[in-house]
Structure 1
Amino acid sequence: MNIEFSVRLPTDAQSVPLMRGLLRQALEHLGVAEAGIEEIVLALTEACANVVDHAGEHEEYQVDVSITDDLCRISVLDEGQGFEFDQASHTSARSPLEDHGRGLVLMQALVDNLQFVQAEDGRHRVTLEKRLSPQPHLRLLSD
């Protein structure tokens, strides 16, 4: 079964838990293992929080979600300034106790593929991909 949806959200802190809840419900509906759900939701939280923190004057951002039997792909698009991923990830690696930059380290650790690109329409896109494993089935023992 596949689920795909796209949501345009205001760049305020209240949009982050809303998006987390939508993604969690979709993953639970498809029977994804709880550990995988937690990792994906945390990575999404970091991506959305980055947009909200650095949105500047832009009023909204977009989250596109595509979930298949074996892969969850999330794209977070915004019109903010963007940044140089290689430079930011090296800075984060050198100073893990600083207040900023830990989100990049977390996202890299939680997903299988992380990309930062400028989309054709000029918006910045963060794409998170995570391979999925189904919920383990309980085997009932008969007497």
Structure 2
Amino acid sequence: MSIWWSLHLRRDAASVPLARRLLMGTMETAGVDPDISYDLSVALSEACANAVEHGGSGTASESAGAYRVTAYLDGEKCRIEVADSGPGFPALRGRAAQAVRPAPDRPDPDCAENGRGLFLIQELADHVHFVNRPGRGGAVVSFDKILKWKKDAPLVAV
């Protein structure tokens, strides 16, 4: 079984629950275990919130006010990508596209929010990549997780 979808969303807080509900509905329909669905939906929410908060270039162009979410349920794995048109991850600027971990191993307990979303994504997913897009600019957060299925799931992977 293979399912994929892609959304082009405005950088607006209201877009975050929209993406989350679409992912949850897709996984529920496919028969993915609810705990796995929940983990992925929280990770997606954090990635989208990051794109909404940091993903603009500050210009008036249309792409500066948008970000893209793509989800793939393919076989036994779900892969999610969130791409924005912002300045990218500061730790990666000036480097070739490569995956790194810009978030600390543990968020600073004295810091209310910074870094917690990226840390949560790393804890909830099996594999995580943070890259800056070369040329066009922007950040891409991609992560995947091995799926577990409900008993008698309607779209169980073959």
TM-score clears 0.5: yes
Structure 1 pair 69/97, CA: closer, same or farther in 2 (3 Å)?
A: farther
Query: Which runs of 5 or more structure 2 residues have no equivalent in the other structure?
Result: 59-63, 93-99, 153-158
1:71-110 matches, within 5 Å, as 71-83=77-89, 84=91, 88-90=102-104, 93=106, 95-99=108-112, 100-110=114-124
Structure 1 equivalent of residue 128 of structure 2: 114
- Hey, which of these two has a bigger chunk of helix by percent? 1
The question of 1:127 aligning with 2:142 is answered yes
1:1-143 matches, within 5 Å, as 1-56=1-56, 57=58, 58-83=64-89, 84=91, 88-90=102-104, 93=106, 95-99=108-112, 100-120=114-134, 121-137=136-152
TM-score, length-scaled by structure 1: 0.86
User: For the Cα contact (< 8 Å) 2:2–2:74, is it kept in 1?
Assistant: yes
Shift of 1:97: 4.3
Query: Number of aligned pairs?
Result: 137
Structure 2 equivalent of residue 140 of structure 1: none
Structure 1 pair 79/31, CA: closer, same or farther in 2 (3 Å)?
A: same
Query: Which runs of 5 or more structure 1 residues have no equivalent in the other structure?
Result: 138-143
TM-score, length-scaled by structure 2: 0.79
